[in-house]
Structure 1
Amino acid sequence: MGDFTTEKLYTRGSDLTDLLINAATDDDAFAALTDIHMTGDDPIEFKSYSYEQNVYLPLIARCYNDVCDVRLLEALNDYEERPCIVYRVSKPGHAQAVADLLKAIEAAPERLLPDLRREMEKILESSSKFLPAASDTSFMAGKHRETHAHLEQSVADFSLTGDVLRTLLEVSPEGGFYPGDGPLAVEELGEAHAPRCNLIGALGYSFGFLKTLASVYREAEAHGLRVLHLQVYGT
């Protein structure tokens, strides 16, 4: 994840500052700024975070669209179609927008439950389409059938609750993590409520992503600065 939160940005002179300001609305300025990100030739400092499968950002945005800032909502929805979020910030208040969204999730995580159940049903449906024939006795076929059975059980005994999701929000770390390498608390929640399914882990990545956005904005505000352009790369 790249961000322009260090003072280097603000001592580079008017050219870069103008580029940042214009990138909020002008495609040419935006393209030039993207080039700075991609080439790595510019001495602007970056913070690095790793993210995997922020696929539930659009789901979160849908479930809290009544409290989610319109521009933030658009950015989170865009992630479904693009491997990076390009968040063109053209007004103050976005730090509060992210904070408000996190507070809304913490206050009423149960709003996510119907959509998460549908997600599990979709995962099961997809697994069913590729279920190997009974005559296939290969190792991989056996693992597929075993995983499918776990998915069927998870959907039938859907055990996610608001309290479980609140705990997941609490233990999901800022900065993200790789599948299978997350905090033990996240792994345990996944094993307890959606074994052999990456739903809990992926949702945890998304929670961590939002926490990181919040920290970027807090850092800018602490220095009396405003984030004019934030570009987030996913994998």
Structure 2
Amino acid sequence: MRLRNVRGAREEMLVNPYVIQEPQQYKGHVAVQIFGNNNPIFIEVGMGKGQFITSLAALHPEINYIGIEKYSSVLIRAIEKQEELQLPNLKFLRFDAEYLPDIFAPGEIAHIYLNFSDPWPKDRHAKRRLTSSRFLGLYDQILADGGIVEFKTDNQPLFDFSLESVKESGWTLLMQTRDLHHSEFAEGNVMTEYEAKFSAMGNPIYKLEAVHDKNA
């Protein structure tokens, strides 16, 4: 799907107070220097228009949230939500997930959300999937001991690929379901825009959580 360009979005990223500028300079000190506290940091990679992470930030003021999105035309919608709410524990990054270890120090992140990521259906693009072994390796570099990757999708082939990727990468699967909204894990679930849309169409939602034991 081609993204519609939003006039002025890229320029807004450079001046908006909710967007972290030059994030490399805060590596290892993000919580203190960006949020002014020592609370844990949860990130959403590929957050889209921000409904999910904005809802979480409102529910959990004791956690620092950073939404990461590489497309300015999408990120601008999340910024608009945050400008209305002005949540002190929510910031954004316009950044590519490929460079996460450049902006976060080892152990600096407590939790990573991956929601309805691009499936990259062609086999030759498998390395680009955010649940590939390549990306799991990047997440492992920044997650704290016991840090969790949480993944939701409506794409069965991508979910099957992700389960295999978790196994091959030496991570431990904490939970999985192929029908989240009709499972024991449904309580407390916060939906994304895509999740609400696909669920309303009758599509099952797949979810997994995985952790990597760094001492194994």
TM-score (ref. length: structure 2): 0.23
Decide which structure has greater helix share.
1
Decide which structure has greater strand share.
2
TM-score (ref. length: structure 1): 0.21
